[in-house]
A and B are shown apart, each in its own frame.
Chain A
Amino acid sequence: MVQELSLVSTINKKEFNFVINSLIALTGQKPRSLTNENIIYSPIINLKYLQSKQAINNSVNLNQIEQHLVKIRRSWQMYSPGKKNPNVVVNEILSNDNQLFMKKVGAGDVKLGERDTTNDGENQYSFQISDIPAAGKRKVSSQTIYEVNIKQSATALRSYMMNLGYVEKQRFLIKGLKFLYNGVVNIEIFQVFAIDATDGKTVVQIIDGSENWFLKAYVNVAKITDISLINKASSDLALLQKNVGNLIKLKIPDRGLMDSRINDNL
């Protein structure tokens, strides 16, 4: 369980190169590629929905019980033979060629769309559930994340999740770059691509038509009760906020949008 302290921003498509170059200067680092796949699992049975449909004389009190979305994350790699040069990394990330969405699964690289049917190699996954970010007036967003690691094939994981009571709801890819600021603050700049795998064909589509980039700056604090560590992380983020202030407007993300609890809507 970690406390993730974060600030976010959006970067206009036109400013991307300028922002990247500025971050290279600020961090003294070459960017590294950030590529992961995220599968959102939702409970098969929505208890709050069931409760809302109950007859009044059979009310079951669910006040203390919350259901949450589960996020399963794994890495993917772009198909690129030589990628040590940072310019290559940036150009690849900027490319809109969906053929670059190649994935390392098991022994070799396969095209994304072929993955689930033809290759059932084992993958490393992270299994995450997060709380709603803490309420109140704060300088940074503060959210608790639970995580455990799984090594399994896609098929076996899906059937385990089904038996656990969860089904796949959404799937998306993250493609971007990342930096480390001051040795502690992670800076991720990325675009999100929805994966639609209906009709046996996989379509990867950017979710934001304006092709803007998201930026997330965060620090994970392992000891969530350690106030001094949390304060330190907060001030590290504040320092970044100050240093990039003219270029990137770092803000607290909308708490409601970060809420993974299940409500009574089906």
Chain B
Amino acid sequence: MTTAVLFVQNTSVSSIASFNDKISNEIPKILDPWSFELKIYRTNAIVGKLLAGMNQQNTTQAKELISRVMYTLNLSYTPKQTISIVNNEVTIFNTDRSKGDELLDHGCSTGFYDPIDSIIQNKLNALWQPLQGLKGEGGNSYEVTLDEEDVFIIRTANCFLHGGFKGFLVEMTYEKGGEDGEEKIKSLIKKLNFPNGKLSFDKLGDGKENKFFGDLAFQYTQALQI
């Protein structure tokens, strides 16, 4: 499976409509509406102040720490998980109770879960401060088949930062595995004449677990240039 994320800036709220029309010409299978929320946290400013108070703000370690950024991505089509990336390390947090039976059975779970964003904001706020929240709303999703065998899932959504329109985002997934996934997505973009924007095929690196969602979340952060 190969994914890519395209972010189109310098456009208007209505331009997504003409883009959706373009996709409709390919007679897609219409899938469920969707939305996403990408939250960005940075190291609490207090950490920098305290290190400065001890004249330790300029060490490599301190600089790295002070500039650290954490992302959490919630995708409505996987409602019970949150993908989190810090320093290119990815973890997926689940709030799906059915997944925790083994833990519950061994006495290591309360059986009730909280979204990780709520834990960060309530209990990790000494270290992490919310910086921005980007929302993708009113999203459409399609399954498009090209050349009779190449199946793509295309999701589009308008992006808002603190309520202000920022552009629109296109998430693309090429269902089949294999080396040529990137080429297939590029040919999709060409064939459907997607508008220009920041396109990300970035990957977190080999050997990472949670690879699919990890890479996808990383592409969101790269395409949205944040």
Contacts and interface: CB of A to CB of B under 8 A. Distances in A.
Contact of A2 (B93, B106, B110): B110
A119 B134 CA distance: 38
Given A62-B46, A66-B126, A178-B107, A153 B113 contact: no
B114 A65 contact: no
B103 A149 contact: yes
Nearest to B127: A165
Interface string B108-144: 1111111110110011111110000000000000000
A1 interface: yes
Contacts of B118: 1, 146
How many chain B residues sit at the interface, stated as a range, is 35 or more
B9 interface: no
Contact of B46 (A60, A148, A159): A60
B30 interface: no
B96 A149 contact: yes
A124 B127 contact: no
Interface stretch (A34-42, A227-235, A239-247): A34-42
A15 B75 CA distance: 53
A58 B53 contact: yes
Interface string A186-223: 10100000000000000000000000000000001010
A148 B118 CA distance: 10
B103 A124 contact: yes
B174 to A, nearest CB: 25
Interface stretch (B10-18, B82-90, B185-193, B217-225): B82-90
B76 interface: no
Contacts of A150: 91-94
Contacts of A220: 110-112
B180 interface: no
A163 interface: yes
B181 interface: no
Interface stretch (A23-31, A67-75, A88-96, A133-141): A67-75
B107 A149 contact: no
A128 B68 CA distance: 23
19 contacts: A1-B118, A45-B47, A47-B50, A54-B53, A58-B49, A60-B46, A68-B123, A124-B103, A125-B103, A129-B119, A145-B110, A149-B113, A152-B91, A160-B89, A160-B91, A164-B86, A174-B107, A220-B110, A220-B112
Interface of B: 44, 46-47, 49-54, 65, 68, 70, 84, 86-87, 89-96, 99-100, 102-103, 105-116, 118-119, 122-128, 208-210
Given A124-B100, A162-B89, A220-B112, 10 more contacts: A35-B106, A50-B51, A53-B54, A58-B52, A62-B46, A73-B109, A122-B209, A149-B94, A157-B91, A164-B70
Interface of A: 1-2, 4, 34-38, 43, 45, 47, 50-51, 53-55, 58, 60, 62, 65-68, 73-77, 122, 124-129, 145-153, 156-157, 159-160, 162-165, 174, 178, 186, 188, 220, 222
Q: Which 9 A-B pairs have the closest CB atoms?
A: A75-B106, A73-B108, A36-B108, A163-B86, A50-B50, A58-B53, A163-B87, A149-B94, A54-B53
